[in-house]
Structure 1
């Protein structure tokens, strides 16, 4: 089982339940302070009401609260604001709650070890007028009960989905490179990806560029600004190196290439924040019947084929038995005269049919062959048509979205086409060939439709004096007798 990734929940998420006294804060004055980076996703909540609280229910094994710290020490030695965090009613550590300087992205409280399962976090604020800020909640989901569809997942630089080429080195919890053409790749499923890292003051500060590709698209260049002007020698933490948004809800491959060198700012890789996309439905055809169950096509096809084969075997056996029985009867038959009604031909000469035929066997209905279609796609979840475009937004701390190489504000990239191959193995039953025509009667004879004349002594004409059943003389025994019907008077 794969290791779960930490989930980041923004303060604006409806899963965070705020009590009275909370409101969105103005982040304009917050982002320009400290060196811990801007607030997450540009939003934060604050309160100046004593006793305000919020709660958050989650299924996981760890929990943390992140916000902006702005604590003042009062004359009586207490600190304003103060807060307490509980999980399922038990207090958890608040860390350094008296840090005297303003910083964003500060850990307000955290519990790293919780039993797997459902929990509830509650934060209560105590203030005498100073604002308390909440920016995000992070937690490690339970492997068995977590729902990560639509969540923001953190892919650390050590994640198995992150791969580095040559020219990289570890740098205090992240990877950095000052090598030209060094690459890092991320395979992920989602609609947005943000590269986070920190810019060390120990390395070169001069800005440079890098490029990225998504799913074999043409490379697109973005700026590595280095340390912000006026920063001095302070390392810049929680920097947004690259942000790519508007992707199709599918699996993607991101490749970033460094264009600088040791004389320019490095390319840092701390983590990728991926907005995970929901899995596609099992079938594109909706159903309105909750209890509808799919027909077992394979079982039906197999049963039908079995029935047809069994029927063929039964009919074949009956035909063989009948033929054997006829042959046996023919061998035992004695050439005795058989009663036969008179048949008068068009010339008044009586004739008798001695030949018969065994026609074609009965028609066996064969069901159409069952066709099984299997769709094979390199992408099991599917992508929108290639004509759809997606806007890619490149952001860096303190900079605007960069224009694309074609001069427009967005870079239209065609998503991967979903290739499909139809495999149609079929179960086909071939109709058996018709039985050959045969001869019925006494002994063998010519095929129907061509009677050979008898050769021998001239026939003897015999006229009968009365009507009735006559017995035909067996062929091949003495002279042939040409029998005429009796003559009748008019009265």
Structure 2
């Protein structure tokens, strides 16, 4: 089962049809009676004869409030009234109460079938006035209004109590300095109603309200006269100025303490526009937390610092978004570190094209390594032996005999810290070394990549029995 905020209908509402009868508007100054506060909005309608009024509505409950000022003579009460919904009588309140009071429940029907209904009140009077102040009814969940006043009770889910609030005789209040209340509402203005209990301190104090993190506005909690022995109900504590229609957040901060009158919450009357009644679960029980160590700012401090908390603080969705973002950032950092390490290792193992790494010269069979002193002598080359052809490191081809150590008779020359085996040969003017013939073949070791036009080179190039060895340069 669910309940909705009730809509408040003042006696001046044009949907209330007065008549037949002598209905008139009452001077509110004539209704300063009882301890249930002033009449709502300072207006009331009255009739001192047999009269009828009616009010059409679309909802699930209805209640009628007014001032009760009756006379009883010879057990005859004047005035009397009967309330009907769709021509069915509904219960009256205490219509024999002998003391004048405003804001008195005249009749009520807490449950009705959802849909359109008509309230009618039949008044019988012999001269004593019947007073109508206002009506409340529960609209349908999907109802919307161009303008309306909705009652937010103390148990409304859009009222959030901070620390320091507790129950005083079944009502919610606080006398803890700095205690705060947060109200989320949709509308253009707010009126807070409360009451002043005579059982607690009567000393007046102050509180503040702020809307949408605006500057705090002070209002007075009047307390009671020292000799007052009656609780004052339905006390209007503050009324906000008119603000643009829409969703707003209101924060109330209590400035007193246990030596001053408490702040008691009776409800909020919110002037609402173009929005539904908004269902909320019912019944709702609130157990305000009791703080034994409530922050106690001095009256000179600005309570707006603590009042600027939003009603809906960190949503779970926002926190989850921050966590996910943090994880993503951590993963990106980790990936960047791994990529940098891989790039560093790759750079360490990749040959630098600008470095002078000696071009590898693979092993030459010892039988072909002939010193300059052996020039002119012939040696027999082992069957099947060959001169290996070095390959550039980036051709993808395997180097021939790359793992062999230089044989005896080879000298080592180093460049950029690398060692290559270079045969010792006779030097010629054009960087050519000629070896004697062996089995009809001659070996020539080249020491540069220039064009060789010497007589020796031309002579050897013309011969088919010359074996050319490349220079021991770096691979480029």
List per-residue Cα deviations over 1:162-194 (Å, max 9, x = no partner): 011100002244311111110001011111101
Cα–Cα, structure 1 residues 114 and 191, in superposed 2: closer, same or farther, change >3 Å? same
Q: Which residue of 2 aligns with 1:9?
A: 9
Counterpart CA distance in 2 for 1:9 and 1:172 is 29
**SS of the counterpart of 1:41?**
helix
Q: Which residue of 2 aligns with 1:90?
A: 88
**SS of the counterpart of 1:264?**
coil
Question: With structure 2 as the length reference, what TM-score do the two structures score?
Answer: 0.56
Cα–Cα, structure 1 residues 5 and 173, in superposed 2: closer, same or farther, change >3 Å? farther
Confirm or deny that 1:213 pairs with 2:210.
Answer: yes
Q: Which residue of 2 aligns with 1:246?
A: 242
Contact 1:60–1:117 (Cα < 8 Å) also in 2: yes
Confirm or deny that 1:142 pairs with 2:140.
Answer: yes
- Specify which of 235, 253, 256 is matched with residue 257 of structure 1: 253
- Specify which of 117, 121, 124 is matched with residue 122 of structure 2: 124
Q: Which residue of 2 aligns with 1:72?
A: 71
**SS of the counterpart of 2:253?**
strand
List per-residue Cα deviations over 1:135-173 (Å, max 9, x = no partner): 0001111224x3344111111111111011100002244
Q: Which residue of 1 aligns with 2:25?
A: 24
**SS of the counterpart of 2:147?**
coil
**SS of the counterpart of 1:198?**
strand
List per-residue Cα deviations over 1:27-79 (Å, max 9, x = no partner): 10212x110000001000001122x110001111111110000110123x210
Contact 1:174–1:197 (Cα < 8 Å) also in 2: no
What does 1:34-433 align with in structure 2 at a 5 Å threshold?
Answer: 34-50=34-50, 52-75=51-74, 77-144=75-142, 146-227=143-224, 229=225, 232-278=228-274
Counterpart CA distance in 1 for 2:78 and 2:226 is 30
Structure with greater helix share of residues:
2
Counterpart CA distance in 1 for 2:226 and 2:38 is 16
**Structural RMSD (CA):** 1.9
Counterpart CA distance in 2 for 1:48 and 1:89 is 23
Counterpart CA distance in 2 for 1:176 and 1:186 is 15
List per-residue Cα deviations over 1:385-406 (Å, max 9, x = no partner): xxxxxxxxxxxxxxxxxxxxxx
Q: How many residues align?
A: 276
Q: Which 4+ stretches in 1 moved above 3 angstroms?
A: none
Structure 1: which 5+ residue stretches go unaligned?
Answer: 281-491
**SS of the counterpart of 2:41?**
helix
* CA positional deviation for 1:202: 1.0
Counterpart CA distance in 2 for 1:88 and 1:171 is 39
Counterpart CA distance in 2 for 1:17 and 1:98 is 26
* CA positional deviation for 1:95: 1.6
Counterpart CA distance in 2 for 1:176 and 1:43 is 29
Contact 2:144–2:275 (Cα < 8 Å) also in 1: no
Contact 1:173–1:270 (Cα < 8 Å) also in 2: no
Counterpart CA distance in 1 for 2:206 and 2:86 is 48
Counterpart CA distance in 2 for 1:256 and 1:118 is 38
Counterpart CA distance in 2 for 1:117 and 1:231 is 50
Contact 2:208–2:216 (Cα < 8 Å) also in 1: yes
Cα–Cα, structure 1 residues 153 and 131, in superposed 2: closer, same or farther, change >3 Å? same
List per-residue Cα deviations over 1:334-353 (Å, max 9, x = no partner): xxxxxxxxxxxxxxxxxxxx
Counterpart CA distance in 1 for 2:90 and 2:71 is 22
Counterpart CA distance in 2 for 1:46 and 1:79 is 17
Q: Which of structures 1 and 2 has the bigger CA Rg?
A: 2
**SS of the counterpart of 1:28?**
helix
